[in-house]
Structure 1
């Protein structure tokens, strides 16, 4: 990849019921939000320069997909099951990825993806 001026990524997830969504994402991610920058916005740092932000925006709620890379899809599914978050079956694209998805209370998709290509 060529060098760019980009240094971080924030995935924004719009929701209708902020409190309900924050509670769900706390279960999904296994912890409280790392940052509450303003009312009705919560942020979790997922990696060095990668964040997920959950904020109230009723008009846009339910239309977002967030893809989260994981080291082991089965470990992630097990973690989610223990937290009470239902995750779908693993879909494999041979020699590329394994993925499984869940849906938040507003209908936004969260897709966990494990790279199995051997190139990473």
Structure 2
């Protein structure tokens, strides 16, 4: 049985990578065990590691849920100078989503539940308010 998740991206400049991801995640890292490495707990039990090194070509995207995809898109373009990107949706898919890249080419995606009742149920489950 799995109970936690860790996803790692690599950046060629750790100082800039640390700053970019701290701004993107809107908080300081939760764990910095040594130079060239920082880790954020994005949601309980789900960690994003940023390590100094060569980014992996074609990997990802790491996809994160948000409550307001359009607002996040505007913030990313304005605050982090992310190149403008398209938001997608399909009638048979319960979310709308997008994909963009960090300055090192790591692909990141966001998604938003269209059904806000489903979104609330997912949040309650993640926070342990509802048994799985």
Is this a same-fold pair by TM over 0.5?
A: yes
Q: Which has the higher contact order (CA 8 A, sep 6+)?
A: 1
> If each structure's helix is expressed as a fraction of its own residues, which one has the higher value?
2
1:75 deviates by 3.1
1:68 deviates by 1.0
Provide the residue aligned with 1:80 in structure 2. Answer: 76
Provide the residue aligned with 1:55 in structure 2. Answer: 51
1:94 deviates by 2.2
Which of 17, 29, 40 does residue 44 from structure 1 map onto?
Answer: 40
Structure 1 residue runs of 5 or longer lacking an equivalent are none
Deviates more, 1:88-97 or 1:12-21: 88-97
Q: For the Cα contact (< 8 Å) 1:14–1:62, is it kept in 2? A: no
Which of 93, 104, 107 does residue 106 from structure 1 map onto?
Answer: 104
Say whether residues 1:89 and 2:83 are aligned partners.
Answer: no
Question: Per the alignment, do residues 92 and 99 of structure 1 end up closer, same or farther by CA in structure 2, a change over 3 Å counting?
Answer: same
SS in 2 for 1:19: helix
Say whether residues 1:30 and 2:26 are aligned partners.
Answer: yes
TM-score (norm 2): 0.73
Provide the residue aligned with 1:68 in structure 2. Answer: 64
TM-score (norm 1): 0.80
Structure 2 residue runs of 5 or longer lacking an equivalent are 123-132
1:100 deviates by 1.7
Provide the residue aligned with 2:128 in structure 1. Answer: none
